Structure 1
Amino acid sequence: NCSNNYGPYQHVEKFIPRQITNILDGQRPKLYGRGENVRDWIHTEDHSSGVWTILTKGRIGETYLIGADGERNNITVLRMILRMMGQAEDAFDWVKDRPGHDRRYAIDSTKLRTELGWTPKHTDFESGLAQTIEWYTENRAWWEPAKAATEARYKQQGQ
């Protein structure tokens, strides 16, 4: 089990890529509810290395949690993205929260770290976020084909 990922190659329907690509497309980002939902963010490379560690060193039948101690609420993350992309921190629209939207995701990766010796390498969230913004900025051809369909689906759902 892992926490929320961020980094290159994430589908544009996910929270961080959606905010970044909206800004790149000249659209105002959207934030569910009051933005207080907490997510435990982990860089995609750390997630992958955690999975690899489990596959190569883990014990069959055991459950390992992959996390990087990156808890932040959504409004904080969105404001970081806006600031890093040269936008005002209030340059977003509020949208109705999803029914049953989880308030907090938290991961305790102690077992993975102590038993298998895994540690995340991307522990500076702001630096990882800057690299993620740069990747989406430089790789429009990768995400643009999926963007219109994704936004149309969100619009149908009133989001």
Structure 2
Amino acid sequence: MKFLCVSCDEGMRLEGARGPHEGSLEATFGCPRCGHKVVLLTNPWETQLVKVLGVKIGGRVAPANPYEEVLSSLAPPREETAAETGADSSGSACPFAGMFGQEAPQVPEDGIRWTDEARLRIERIPSFIRPMVQKAIERYAKEQGHRAITDAVMDEARSRLGM
């Protein structure tokens, strides 16, 4: 989970955690850029869930395991495939090497396009929530009559939708 500052779109950092006190935890987060602070309070049920799952508030305490180290050190897939480079089937290059990990650009049915800047910005959103945020911004842009999603449209949607 990551908290973003609404004002400057910067990732907030944990400044302190207290508890459990009467079943509740308190975690204070601050924006390193503008200094805005947010306090996360959990109720007793949420506190129990955190304990049961073994979640450590404040991020990773243990070093990354070997599998994570290997994944982080892998090179990104090549963009060219054997067909594009002219390699025949007897060559040593894997013809599928460039196929995995490359997502085709998605063009919505309503024809709203994303500028490169907006696309880079949406990629900074965690992958598990990105599709929902993307759909909300596209829906907002369509309702407002925008034909392209720019940084300005994203800022407008963010302030109006409370993201």
TM-score tier by shorter-chain length is under 0.3
Q: Which structure would you say has the larger RCO, counting Cα contacts within 8 Å and 6 or more residues apart?
A: 1
Q: Greater share of helix residues, 1 or 2?
A: 1
Q: Higher Cα Rg: structure 1 or 2?
A: 2
TM, length-normalised to structure 2: 0.25
